[in-house]
Structure 1
């Protein structure tokens, strides 16, 4: 009979958990990148709009229009602040999954090391049995040759 690791099912579960967390971490990173991209687009829109207002104000602009532009820039500032909260939440989510993955990976590595240790013990035991059998055969042949 070959080597059987009694805790193989536990090791398999640890690997599945680790793989699932790798997948979850990947999704969290994608979400974080998406949230950052949204934030960058808002900031870019705000910059372009401010530049446009500066150009128009040099050409001459009514106070009413200037107020409308100011309100829209304020709106974009608030939108950017809200989006920054989304970016921060997404980053926190990435950090949480990363920590869970590190822990799961450590637990799986411990199980792998235990499996390796048990396998090494098994191999040593098999080698010892083979040596005993070889000695018995040698002793049998020796006794047979005497007789």
Structure 2
């Protein structure tokens, strides 16, 4: 008789749920990294436009160009603020996904512990049955002699 865990299907579902949560953490983390890269690019462009504005002010620039450059710099600032808000939300989302992953991992481990204990009981039972059979063989052999 081979061992079969009676809750194996539940354990399989828990393992699949854990994998799904792990993938969700990976996806949100990837989104967060991308958002951080975009933020750095925006900040770099803002710095470059600030330097460009200073240089053009020294050279002499028309009012229209100053207004356009200032509007673009304001636009970059608003993009940066929006990106920072997005990053904050992604950080919160990542923490939630991590907690969900940890919880699903705990559930899977509890079922694995049940499986281990059940298997240990099964092995003890098998050993006792084997011992019983050996005792019967020995007692049968001693009766024949």
TM tier, smaller: over 0.9
Structure 2 residue aligned with 1:65: 65
Q: TM-score, normalised by structure 2?
A: 0.93
How many equivalent pairs are there?
145
Gaps of 5+ in 1: none
Aligned structure 1 segments of 4 or more residues deviating by more than 6 angstroms = none
- In structure 1, C-alpha distance between the alignment counterparts of 2:13 and 2:65, rounded to whole Å: 64
Structure 1 residue aligned with 2:115: 115
Q: Secondary structure at the match of 2:80?
A: helix
Pick which of 93-102 and 116-125 moved more. 93-102
Q: Secondary structure at the match of 2:36?
A: helix
Gaps of 5+ in 2: none
1:54 CA drift (Å) = 1.4
- In structure 2, C-alpha distance between the alignment counterparts of 1:68 and 1:4, rounded to whole Å: 74
1:64 CA drift (Å) = 4.2
Pick which of 78-87 and 102-111 moved more. 78-87
- In structure 2, C-alpha distance between the alignment counterparts of 1:14 and 1:109, rounded to whole Å: 9
Q: TM-score, normalised by structure 1?
A: 0.92
Q: CA RMSD in A?
A: 1.3
Structure 2 residue aligned with 1:29: 29
